[in-house]
Amino acid sequence: MAKARPITGLDVHAPTGRIARIIAGIRLDELYYWSRYTDDSYHVLELHNLRIAAKRLRYTLEIFAGVLPGACLSIVKELEMIQEELGALHDRDVMIALLRLCLDSRGSDIVSNHALPDKSEQIVLPLELVADVVNPAVAPVAAERYGLEQLLLRYQRDREEQYNTFQQHWHRLQARDFRQEILDILDAR
Amino acid sequence: MQEQSPPVLAAIDIGSNTIHIVVAHCRPDTLDIIEDQVELVRIGESVTATGAISTEKRDAALAVLRQYRTLAEQHSARKIFTVATEAIRKASNSHEFLEDIKRETGLEVRLISGNAEATLTFYGATYEESKQAGTPARVAVMDLGGGSTELVTARNMHITWRTSLPIGSGWLHDRYLLENPPTPDDLAVAHTFLRTYLQGIRIKPQPPMLIVTGGSANSLLLLARQAFRLDPSSKHLTYDDLMRCEGLMSALPAEEISQRYQQPIGRARILPAGALIIREVMSRLNLDEISVSPHGIREGVLLAYARYGESWLERVNEEASTSIFPPGANYEKATMLDGGEAFVQAGQRMLRERVEKLLDWRDEVLRNEDIEAIHRMRVATRRLRATLDAFESCCDPGQFKRVYRRIKKMADLLGSARDIDVMVQGLRAQIEQIPDAEIAGLRWLIQRLDTYRQQRQQALADFFSRLDERDLKKQVESCIREGD
């Protein structure tokens, strides 16, 4: 996860409203930095960073709600939606990575024959969980493996749909110049 | 032998919106009110615009005060107390204004502090309730004004905590609800703002009873009584009553509300904002009902005199500054929301609020009865980190890093449990929808995740049972250096 860009050199004795606008502007830049990856569905980490950047901008607007224009709340709603869409995508990526791990370690054909491009190595699963699911003592029997394989195929299809939903939403926002919209609201007094 | 009649006294309160008089027979614990009048002068309007009390406002105030003096004398009031609050304190020409009043009306005005104001309002708003059977030991009093809201909590009628919120019905109206009647969109935005803002106010322990005073609260009670035929003797308003008031006021313009329910037009315009603020504070305190008090600072002055005699104000100040608001105790001053608060001060306040909000969830996470507690605590860690990010430039770099690492560790731990909860919820939801042949695989995976989740719960319990809350608070609060 990308760290928030440190913001230094601020006049800490200036009114909060003025500084809040500067911070929100920087968080907006971070969001747009990661947005360059929105057209590749398998930039898993970059899309995750985009989600975190959306979350940071949203929290900034919420934290400073009292000193920013009321119209920022409509931006917060859009950011929540982006966050939810990308969150659902990330959750699917984690589940796909976990299922591949469960099946890969038992030599499933599904993983090698039907899987989508493998970007799952970008997902870091918790070590103890990995150790548990690959433990031969609890290995799934044939019927269980079949269920896991079908689940993996279904999740891969769902992921494509989830990505399309997000991408269409993002394109709609760009068509109305979302970035400028936010800047205009922040500039309003 | 016939009981001697208690003395008649008068108290006048010069506030930012109104000048108000109460004349009453006074005993230390009760008042028999003979006169209760109010005039809308809006001295605060000129103070907000120019920083000073205008000649026009001065003349209007003098005319009202002359009239009140005559009224008090007609009732043979033994004493007339006159106090002035926030708007007069802030005015650049307050000294000249008070001199004019003394010269023109003979009234000597006492300019009182915010703490004394809170104490006197508390006396006034609670004296009736305190005598009622069943009044809980812990109560809160909310004085909803035009530009600010005072919130006080008390135990056994002794104030334990106070905050001053820079949000009043006039302020919220001017900022969010200018349409007449207010539109659903504007109400939704104002509601979201209030909810977000009030989430940051820590009130612990939460009182089971809230007494609300101030012009808007009393006008809403009158409106609800008339519009919904509530019991005319009841002083209570429920959350639903307020929702119905809001529904009515968003359907009818202020002029019609004013005409139908005998409300001054200026009051009718700001009532939707008042209703929304009260309702949001109720939500924040998890209360379904409030008690509305028509009394406030004036009645508090009369009770204080009846209790303490000539040294009433010194006693009130002493009480406010020592036993009630000891140095460093729970007095919180929320500051200006209009951008006037310096960034560094906002940082000190917000970091303190955020860490307290975070720690509020600790016990629930340890109880492990509701998986949502982990989610909420995790969100609280994210908000605290976002606040730290925002105020990094005010922080000591070393201290910032140490705190950030500590909060991140907590967030990671909560996240590792929460992520599994989400996965398991998603898988369980699918069991009903998939072919039977696939269910065995799903159940296998849920079992593996449950096993891992139990380990995570143990790790959470170990971490949070060892967590030193005071140390964490101290560490977060010391991020921004004193004197910055």
The distance between the two most distant Cα atoms of chain B, rounded to a whole number of Å, is 96
What is the rounded average pLDDT of the residues B184-201? 80
Is residue B36 classed as helix, strand or coil in its secondary structure?
strand
Q: Which residue has the higher pLDDT, B31 or B165?
A: B31
pLDDT digits (tens, 9 = 90+) for A88-109: 999 999 999 999 988 876 555 5
Q: Which of A60, A91, A144 sits opposite B386 (nearest CB)?
A: A60
Contact present, A54 and A86 (Cβ < 8 Å): yes
Q: In what order do the strands lie in the sheet with B149-155?
A: B236-238, B289-293, B210-213, B138-144, B149-155, B158-165, B331-333
Task: Let me know if the fold of B8-111 is the same as that of B116-297.
Answer: yes
Residues 6+ apart with CB under 8 A from A165: A85
The superfamily (CATH) of domain B343-477 is CHAD domain (1.40.20.10)
Strand ranges (DSSP E) for B166-213? 210-213
What integer pLDDT is reported at residue B200 of this predicted model?
64
Contact A12 B393 (CB under 8 A): yes
Task: Please check whether residue A19 touches B, CB under 8 A.
Answer: yes
User: Contact A147/B176, CB-based, under 8 Å?
Assistant: no
B339 Cα to chain A: minimum distance (Å): 4
* Amino acid at site A118: D
Question: Is the model's pLDDT at B419 over the cut of 50?
Answer: yes
How is the beta sheet containing B31-40 ordered, strand by strand? B31-40, B18-26, B8-14, B79-84, B109-111
Residue-wise pLDDT for B430-478, tens only, equals: 888 899 989 999 999 999 999 999 999 999 999 998 999 999 999 998 8
Q: Is A138 on the interface with B (CB under 8 A)?
A: yes
CA closest to B343 among chain A residues:
A16
Q: Which of A21-30, B94-103, B168-177 has the least mean pLDDT?
A: B168-177
Domain ranges of chain A: 16-187
From chain A, pick out residues whose CB is under 8 angstroms from the CB of B197.
Answer: 65-66
- Residue B328 above 50 pLDDT? no
Question: Closest Cα of chain B to A137: distance in Å?
Answer: 12
Distance CA B3, CA B27 (A): 13
The reply to whether residue A60 touches residue B390, judged by beta carbons under 8 angstroms, is yes
- Quote the minimal CA–CA distance from B349 to chain A in Å: 12
Query: What average pLDDT does this structure show over B356-368?
Result: 88
| pLDDT value of position B338 | 42
Contact B440 A62 (CB under 8 A): no
CA dihedral sign of residues A73, A74, A78, A80: positive
DSSP B135: -
In terms of CATH architecture, what is B116-297?
A: 2-Layer Sandwich (3.30)
With beta carbons less than 8 A apart as the criterion, state whether B9 and B26 touch: yes
Q: Is A189 an interface residue toward B (CB < 8 Å)?
A: no
Cross-chain Cβ contact A12/B175 below 8 Å: no
pLDDT reading at B329 higher than 50: no
Q: Which long-range contacts (CB under 8 A, 24 or more apart) does B230-237 make?
A: B235/B291, B235/B292, B235/B293, B236/B289, B236/B290, B236/B291, B236/B292, B237/B278, B237/B289, B237/B290, B237/B292
pLDDT averaged over every residue in chain A: 85
Name which residue leads in pLDDT, B477 or B130: B477
- Which residues are CB-neighbours of B47 under 8 A, at least 6 positions away? B16, B53, B87, B90, B91
pLDDT at B463: 92
Collect all residues of chain B within an 8 Å Cβ-Cβ radius of residue A23: 390
A171 touches chain B (CB under 8 A): no
State the pLDDT at residue B326: 38
Strands (E), B94-180: 109-111, 138-144, 149-155, 158-165
> Per residue in B19-76, pLDDT tens?
999 999 999 888 999 999 988 788 877 776 777 899 999 999 999 999 999 999 999 9
- Residue B396, pLDDT > 50, answer yes
In words, the CATH class of domain B8-111 is alpha beta
Per-position DSSP letters for B80-116, written without gaps between them: EEEEE-HHHHH-TTHHHHHHHHHHHH-PPEEE--HHH
User: Phi and psi at residue B316, in whole multiples of 5°?
Assistant: -65, -45
CA distance B271 to B267: 6
Minimal Cβ distance to B341: which of A15, A91, A138: A15
Q: Is the pLDDT of residue B274 over 90?
A: yes
- Closest CB to B423: pick one of A17, A95, A128: A95
For CA atoms B107, B113, B116, B121, the dihedral sign is positive
The two tokens of residue A117 are 């491009």
**Residue carrying structure tokens 């940082």:** B347
| Pairing between β-strand B236-238 and β-strand B289-293 as defined by DSSP bridges | antiparallel
Question: Would you call A124 an interface residue with chain B, using a CB distance cutoff of 8 Å?
Answer: no
At residue A127 the predicted structure's pLDDT band, cuts being 50, 70 and 90, is confident
B343 near A CB under 8 A: yes
Whether residue B339 has pLDDT greater than 90: no
More confident residue, B339 or A72: A72
Interval A17-57: pLDDT, tens: 889 999 999 999 999 999 999 988 888 889 999 999 999 99
| Least confidently predicted of B46-55, B224-233, B241-250, B291-300 | B46-55
Residue B424: pLDDT band with limits 50, 70, 90: very high
pLDDT at B139 over 80: yes
φ, ψ at B302 (rounded to 5°)? -65, -40
**pLDDT for the residue A41:** 85
Closest by Cβ to A133, choosing from B175, B387, B448? B448
